[in-house]
Structure formats: C-alpha cells, structure tokens
Amino acid sequence: MNQVATEYERKHVYRIECNDCHSILTDRGMNAVLLSDRAVQLFSTDLLPDTVSFVHGDYAAASCSCRVRDIACLNCGNIVGYHVNVPCKLCLSQPNNGHYWMFRSYDISAQQIYVQCKIIDIYIY
C-alpha cells in the first residue's frame, strides 16, 4: 500500500509575527507565492487580522495590474504586507487559495504551527 499526498492536499499553517516588535499578526498564515512572479515568496491569510491596519492609499502592484494597499502592524507601525483590494484578470485566471491578505517574507517571521495531511491509499494489484 502506497500513501501519497499531493501539494494541494498538504496544509501548513504558520504563526506570523512582525519582525520589528514580534507581535503576533495571525495564527492563520500560509506559505504563498506571488502569482505574477512565482519567484517571490510570501505568506498569506484569508481573514483580516485585527493586528494590522491600512496605511496610505491604493496603488498598482509592481508586477501586475492588481490594486493593493499596504498594511502595518498596529503595535509598532512597521509595514508588514498588503491587501489585494482588486485582483487583476491575470492573477484571477491562475490557481489561487483566495487569500488576499499578504505578508512580505522580509518584514515578518513565520513559525509552522499546524500540519494536516490528507493521505490517499493506493492499492497496487
């Protein structure tokens, strides 16, 4: 019997902390990549964290046509990522997890806190 779990069936959940003040920003973080440039490593969450606030106004993302707005840690004011307010057609056309709260890897630290693996049993006759 072989046990196989594909990439999309593995769920790694991370605690995301601000690099400057070490405040916990979310316990619902997931590893992600920038859809328009898969070399850019990010973390994301699906819900608005109550530990961040919007700063400045919307602007066009650097690598696509998405409209984004920076988010900062409420404790220290460090900009830790951004929210995708209006995703572009290119990003919507690619496989995604529906997370629009993004954390830049160099502004945060991430610690894995939960792993769930769906195991598929394959019988070879």
pLDDT in tens, 59-109: 998 888 999 999 999 999 999 999 999 999 988 888 777 889 999 999 999
pTM: 0.78
Please check whether residue 25 is in contact with residue 49, taking contact to mean a CB–CB distance below 8 angstroms.
yes
Sign of the alpha-carbon torsion through 59, 61, 66, 69: negative
pLDDT in tens, 30-72: 988 777 677 778 899 999 999 999 999 999 988 889 999 999 9
What dihedral do alpha carbons 7, 83, 106, 51 form, nearest 10°?
A: -100
* Residue 19, CB-side half-sphere exposure with 13 Å CA sphere: 11
Please check whether residue 28 is in contact with residue 45, taking contact to mean a CB–CB distance below 8 angstroms.
yes
Rounded to whole angstroms, how far apart are CA atoms 62 and 11? Answer: 28
